[in-house]
Amino acid sequence: MIYLITLTLSAMIYFFMRLLITKENTKENKTAKIMSVALFVVYLVQLFSRDALDNTFNLLLVDIETPINAYDTWLTGVSISIFMIFLRWFTILSILFLVLKPFFKLKNITFISSFITFFIGLLNVIFFKENIIMFLGEVNYLNYRSIFFIFEIAIILAVSLTNMIQYIKDNKLPKLKEIKNGLLVFLITSISVVPQSVFFNLFGNFGEIPEEYNPIHLLLIIIPFVFMIFGYRFMKQKSQEQKDFFITFIAFSAFFQYFSFNHHGLASLPLHLCNTAVILMLFSVVFRWRGFFYFNYFANVVGALAALIFPNINTDFFDSGAMRYAFNHWYVLAWPILAVALKTFTKPKLKDMYKAIMVFTVYYVVIVFVNAWLNNYQEVDYFFVYGNHLSDMFNVTGIQYNNVLSFEYHGLTFIFYWLYQVLFYLAFIFLMFMSWYVYDAFFTFFDGRKKLKAKQKQMRLDELNLLELLDGRSITEPINPGGINMIKIKNFSKKYGNSDKYAVKDFSLEVNMGEVFGFLGHNGAGKSTTIKSLVGIQSITEGSMEICGYSIKTQPLEAKLEIGYVSDNHAVYEKLTGREYIHYIADLYKVDPIHRDERLEKLLVEFNLVHAIDQEIKSYSHGMKQKLVVISALIHEPKVWILDEPLTGLDPASAYQIKKSMKEHAAKGNIVFFSSHVIEVVEKICDRIAIITNGQLQGIYDMNEIREKNISLEELYMSKFELAKGKTDV
Amino acid sequence: MFERVRILTKLQLTNKTKKHEKNSLRVYRDLALKVLVVVLITVFVSLLLSLVKNILFIPVNDYFMIFILILTQVLSIVSAISRLTVDIYQSKDNQILLTLPAKNDEIFLSKLIVYYINEFRKNFYFLFPFLIAYGFTSKENFGYYISILFIIFILPFIIVSIAAFISILLTLITHYLKKHHWVTFGLTVLFIISVFILIYYLVSFIPDNIRIVQLYNSFIVGLTKFMQQVANFGFIYQAIGKLMTGSSIMINSLIIILTLGVLFLINYLFCRPLFFWLTSKSREHTKTKDHQIHDRKHKGLFWTFFRKELTIAKRSPNELLSNYVLLIALPLIIFVLNSIYMNMDRSSLGNQLILIFNILIILILITASNTASVVAITTEGFEFVLLKTAPSKTLQVAWAKMAFNFIITSILLLLSFVLFRIALPVFNRTDIWLMFIFAFLFNASQIFWSFQIDILNPKLSDYASTGSITDNDNIKKALGNGFLVSIAFTLLSIFVFLFFESIAWILLIIMMFIWLGFRFLSFNTYLKAYFVDIEY
């Protein structure tokens, strides 16, 4: 009869659902959500009773000494009891999947919530009588627990059937791989809602009391961290929806686990920080309330960690109370961290922590008053702010009991241990601040690793691109064999840092062998930026730069070997002597000592620096340092000599010497490329010039043509400058 | 004049502080946060003073307050002297400031004002809360709290005036010593030997069988007497303390005003004229001794870089000394501390705790001695351009610098442990050498970590423009990291010695080895990926 009622009710619910769905096809998901909430409510109601099965002790008859007579606690035979333990376990898991299914469109979840849950529902119908015995210890179909159980099974069956039909419509019958995956997910996730009495039922008191860092206590501490690491590693490659499901699933599991036992009395109200947390977890994940989430993140994680390190459990670890304590704190500790790591909630900002502190303050004030109030009726110690659990542990009972405020109101006495409670509050706030720094350190570490991986990937890609461009040639050969006698800049652009503004934009230029090429522009026009990118000091934002056919970006070593560079500042080690400095540079440019010494002696005479070469550079004048830098740039006889404002601050003789060297170097068939804002110098020694203003190339001019046309370079420059200025003003 | 000083001061302050968008909400929020911090520090110090008074039974009276004032001010003056020497006379921004249309006196004054403001900020976060907390603890009257408002403005003035005067003397001596390396060397050796002899002599005074509990009362009496004697010699600080607590107001006010006047006059008459002379001293054209170099065969880039480091180090003995001063002092510190421990009445647990305490001290000192690693790339400054333009794998420079640091610190560590072994034979020989291996591995890991910090965020431009590494965030970060790791390894040591005593050292060395491996891999990976991206 009872089977008939259950199946009829299932059929009715099913047809009711179909009717709703058929009537308004678009509301299919809404109907599913209504049924999800209904199932959740039915589940909540049945939590108000404690099942007889929970008292079953040591079904496997493990050899332990105990005052409990195991046989007296058994409700039926061993096999059926064990079977029923697992059936109840999987039924709770099925409810969890069915409650969450309408909110996520995931294939495995749909499969589980169709076929597996239907199968579990059917098993419950078949073993209906055994279920009732497990709940009540006797067969009584009229008890409210039995009636709600009928509704529970009916909804499970109806919703599963609806899902199953929809699944077959959408995907046809499930393939073997889908069945395997579905079963695997179902089995793995079953760990999250392990019935807290299962070890007690099967093994009795075989565990240990987790205290003083015994192995069980260490296990208690390690498990959430292992769970976090594996949870993260397993989920990090999944889609965001899968990650969100995972986080929601854990939040619901935490809720199911915490409330899976009927709690009696005021002391068991969920007002301890970590007990309140499971409710807040559910709210923050269902309604996306960030305030509640970050309260969990900053306050509850600290609380849960402290609870695991200093557990106040005096029962066997296999006891349901100890299991509940463990699951509660594991979830509260691991869940917020995983939720941020998997990006269900964003990485907190400092203001989120301040908000969390505010929420904690409200909670704390409420809890202090609630403790003071409820202790009039029964001894309670929510969050340990009233009793002496913590003050005993830290040996500060004196502070607690010597600083008391109390008042009477309507016959009730309100007691506040004000100093202890203020210190407790401050200590917790301090811990929250500390947690911010710990989180920040972790974020910095993981962000750094992430950037590093991206960078390494980019480097590998660049290397592969280079090999592709070289098309089988050696890596030391130029990328552009046609450009071995020139500097080639193509569409070069440069931005600094995160700036939106281009320092140089879309700059293209070719300079040939034997040329002295002048680069003219006002201060800040982009001359130094271009040169610094050309010699490899700065990166290139867009475009390409080639020296003698080598790309400075992808073949920097080969390109730099062809360059001699004189910077706009003296890059010299002042504590070395001139000779030591030149030797150092020569080593960097791989010049052998014989050639180095030959060239050095010649250049020293040319630049009149023989007398000072063995003295420390710190004793040199500005001009002497500049000459030394010029010598160091020429020590490897570069094909391309690049100088950035080389004549600034030099006396006429030194300036003349350097100009002479520039001409001679070009005459040998090399390139001399230099920047200046001194028009007369450029006019005098250059073969060609380029004018740059505000980061844009204004033109390239042949000095012979300019001279032939009798155009003043100064006037030409000013006209370009004014033109560019006008454009900028507009 | 005042307008120019104001502009100069503002210019320097803006350069040294972070710029934020002007936003009234932000200003109020910052202000509220600062007040909150001060309130929290005050509460904390109040609790601390209660602890000192009620649990440690040290009298918190006027002498105590004056003693703390003297202690903090002396420390501030010492720190100010070293910073002012760099910031006033050797700062590279002098070259800019001296060219501005302002008198040298005004530049000097603006620099002192900038330093005064920084000192005031420091006092605001420590001395201000301390004085208020002291007021609460010893139940001072209203006048005391009013006097704090004046005193916190006077104290930084005293620090800056004294430091400015002493730093100028020090700069003159430094200039002399820079020209006479042998005198410097001789004085340094003499100083080190004197310190060792002095310490050895002092250590012989440590009584046998120190029993802390029994000695506590006499220790407290001795400490109280010592504080009183120091307070009696506190001159201006004694006058400040007495003025604040309301005794002999007229005389003490007069002493304070006179002292401030004298300090002002000394700076006006002595330091001000010398400032320009000292800052404008150039080394250009100073004929230095010719250095003949032995032309060694080029053996690869690593040796090129290593040789350069060695040459520069040889010619900068003072920098070398200041970089490794804590490691040089390590044997001394270890000797003093252990001499005290050895004379204590100890249990076997006490012996283990001494060993663990040694570990903590050594790790912290190693951490503090690694600042050279965390600025190794930064101190290349503008010269880093050479590495950017060179056609070689210049990341070898990092390995060369690291090898150099590693060799120097390892030698100093080895020396410390040899002395440790000789001076304290009571320790088990194996324990000492195992501790050496542990410290050696930690030192290497700390060098890798510090280098990594610098590679990820080198302050090349800052160093190139100022020539100074003060206020370098990387140093703070490296010290903070090192301190935390030292604490973590000390906690691990406690755990390991308590639960696995027989294999404690092996476990610790294995853990340190793993940590070193991790730091090495991390450094190597970051170096390969990011060295090429370092931009001047």
What is the ipTM metric for this complex? 0.73
Pull the structure tokens for residue A519. 């680069």
Q: Which residue has the higher pLDDT, B429 or A224?
A: A224
The mean pLDDT value for A314-333 works out to 89
Using N-to-C axis directions, what is the helix angle for B348-368 and B429-456, rounded to 10°?
Answer: 30
Q: Give all strands of the β-sheet with A671-676 in edge-to-edge order.
A: A563-566, A640-644, A671-676, A516-521, A688-693, A696-702
Closest listed residue to residue B446, CA positions, set B394, B377, B523, B378: B523
B322 has a pLDDT exceeding 90 = no
Confidence of residue A23 (pLDDT cuts 50, 70, 90): low
Higher-confidence residue of B286 and B506: namely: B506
Helix axes A117-126, A78-100, angle to 10 degrees: 140
Exposure of A360 in the CB half-sphere (CA atoms within 13 A): 30
Contact criterion met (CB < 8 Å) for B456 and A579: no
pLDDT in tens, A97-112: 999 998 898 889 999 9
Nearest to B274 by CA among B161, B167, B168, B116: B168
Give one DSSP letter per residue of B352-386, joined into a string: HHHHHHHHHHHHHHHHHTTHHHHTTTGGGGGGHHH
pLDDT, average across residues B365-370: 84
The residues near A212 (Cβ < 8 Å, ≥ 6 apart) are none
Picking from B285, B295, B389, the nearest residue to A537 by CB comes out as B389
Quote the minimal CA–CA distance from B491 to chain A in Å: 15
The reply to whether residue A579 touches residue B301, judged by beta carbons under 8 angstroms, is no
How far is residue A155 from each of residues A16, A25, A152, A645, B113, measured CA to CA in Å?
Answer: 11, 20, 5, 84, 79
Tokens of A209: 């009391």
Averaged over A276-284, what is the pLDDT?
A: 92
In this structure, the number of other CB atoms found within 10 A of the CB of residue A79 comes to 9
Going by C-alpha positions, the residue among A168, A166, A165, A159 that lies closest to residue A9 is: A159
The CA distance from A301 to the nearest CA of chain B, in Å, is 21
Residue B390: closest CA among B532, B527, B260: B532
* Whether B390 and A588 lie within 8 Å, measured CB to CB: yes
Cα angle vertex B478, ends B475, B481, to 5°?
Answer: 145
- The pLDDT tens digits for A557-616 are 999 999 999 988 777 888 889 999 999 999 889 898 889 999 999 999 988 889 889 988
DSSP letter (8 states) at residue A481: G
The 8 Å CB, 24+ separation contacts for B118-122 are B119/B76, B119/B80, B119/B155, B119/B156, B119/B159, B119/B160, B120/B152, B120/B153, B120/B156, B122/B76
For A573, which of B289, B291, B312 is closest by C-beta distance?
B312
Chain A window 681-720: which residues touch B at a Cβ cutoff of 8 Å?
Answer: none
Question: Which of A531, A584, A626, A634 is the best mutation test for B, with the most CBs of B within 10 A?
Answer: A584
Q: Residues in chain A, how many? A: 730
SS (H, E, C) B466-478: HCCCCCCHHHHHH
The residues near B462 (Cβ < 8 Å, ≥ 6 apart) are B378, B472
User: For position A122, what pLDDT does the model report?
Assistant: 92
| Strand bridging mode A516-521 / A542-547 | unpaired
- Touching check for A565 and chain B: CB below 8 Å? yes
Both tokens of A84, joined, read 């029923």
Sign of CA dihedral B120, B122, B127, B128: positive
Can you tell me which residue has the tokens 């040199």? Answer: A620
Interchain CB distance below 8 Å, B311 and A560: no
Least confident of A194-198, A706-710, B288-292, B493-497: B288-292
3-state SS, residue A388: coil
Sign of CA dihedral B405, B411, B412, B416: positive
- Which has the closest alpha carbon to B40: B133, B122, B138, B118? B133
DSSP A115: I
Q: What confidence category does residue A730 fall into, taking pLDDT thresholds of 50, 70 and 90?
A: very low
In the beta sheet, which residues pair with residue A416? A405
Residues 285-314 in A contacting B (C-alpha not used; CB under 8 Å): none
Does the CB of A554 have a partner CB in chain B at under 8 Å? no
pTM for the model: 0.71
Burial of A626 (0-12, 13-18, 19+ CB in 10 A): buried
Nearest to B292 among A537, A589, A614 (CB): A614
Nearest residue of A to residue B315 by CA position?
A: A575
Distance CA A626, CA A566 (A): 8
How do A516-521 and A688-693 pair as beta strands? parallel
Tokens of B350: 């006490």
**CB neighbours of residue A34 within 10 Å:** 14
Distance from CA of B530 to the nearest CA of A (A): 8
> Which of A49, A71, A68, A51 is CA-nearest to residue A60?
A71
What was the pLDDT predicted at A99?
93
The mean predicted confidence, pLDDT, of chain A is 88
Contact A197, A257 (CB under 8 A): no
CA dist., res. B417 & res. B28, Å (int): 54
Verify whether the Cβ–Cβ distance B391 to A560 is below 8 Å.
Answer: yes
Neighbours of B196 (CB within 10 A): 14
For residue B284, list chain A residues with Cβ-Cβ distance below 8 A.
619-622
